[in-house]
């Protein structure tokens, strides 16, 4: 029975999000939200450096669909921080067409280690309650796995949201972290 319920919610991400996000009480409104976004599907034209790879047509479509899906499901975000690589930054810009937020770039999110993510998080202003970080694999999957008991392998344009039990981003390392959602473009 438990296996059936788990498989049902895994296959029905919208229901999982609604159930988990809306009925997991009590909520502490002072908690921070961390959203990790892997760049959308990219292309690799001949004689193009890795940093300059553009988004493929599928990536453009997936990023637009994912951003609209998240906004329509009331996923609130205060700030975007992106790797400066073209494919990540363009994914972020597409999300920003939906959200209309402040965007900053951070070199540490290109070819990142787990420590790079933590460094970016520690530098966040505490007025930011919810942040989305746009980055790359394998770093983004490794970082998500380091802060969660769930196992992640981010597909392109995959998104994971976590609730961080802290009032200041400087408390991130020792704070309790809880997965709120994990979305894949092919399953929304």
Q: Binding-site residues, please?
A: 87
Q: Quote the tokens at residue 113.
A: 């280690």
Q: Quote the tokens at residue 108.
A: 């540490």
Phi then psi for residue 172, to 5 deg, are -55, -50
Contact 81, 106 (CB under 8 A): yes
- With helix as H, strand as E and coil as C, how does the chain read? CHHHHHHHHHHCHHHHHHHHHHHCCCCCCCCEEEEEEECCCECCCCCCCHHHCCECHHHHHHHHHHHHHHHHCCCCCCEEEECCCHHHHHHHHHHHHHHCCEEEECHHHCCCCHHHHHHHHHCCCCCCCEEEEEECCCHHHHHHHHCCCCCCCCCCCCEEEEEECCCCHHHCCCCCEEEEEEECHHHC
Q: Which residues are annotated as a binding site for substrate?
A: 87
């Amino acid at each position: 029975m438990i296996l059936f319920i788990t498989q049902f919610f895994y296959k029905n991400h919208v229901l999982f999000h609604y159930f988990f996000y809306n009925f997991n009480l009590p909520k502490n409104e002072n908690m921070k939200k961390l959203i990790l976004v892997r760049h959308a599907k990219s292309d690799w034209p001949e004689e193009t450096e890795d940093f300059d790879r553009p988004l493929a047509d599928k990536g453009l479509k997936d990023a637009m669909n994912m951003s609209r899906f998240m906004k329509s499901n009331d996923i609130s975000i205060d700030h975007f921080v992106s790797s400066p690589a073209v494919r990540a930054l363009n994914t972020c810009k597409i999300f920003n067409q939906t959200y209309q937020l402040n965007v900053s770039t951070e070199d540490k999110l290109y070819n990142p280690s787990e420590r790079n993510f933590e460094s970016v998080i520690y530098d966040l202003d505490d007025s930011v309650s919810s942040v989305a970080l746009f980055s790359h694999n394998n770093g983004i999957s490794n970082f998500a796995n380091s802060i969660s008991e769930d196992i992640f392998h981010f597909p392109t344009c995959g998104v994971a949201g976590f609730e961080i039990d802290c009032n200041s981003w400087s408390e991130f390392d020792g704070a309790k972290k809880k997965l709120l959602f994990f979305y894949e473009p092919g399953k929304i």
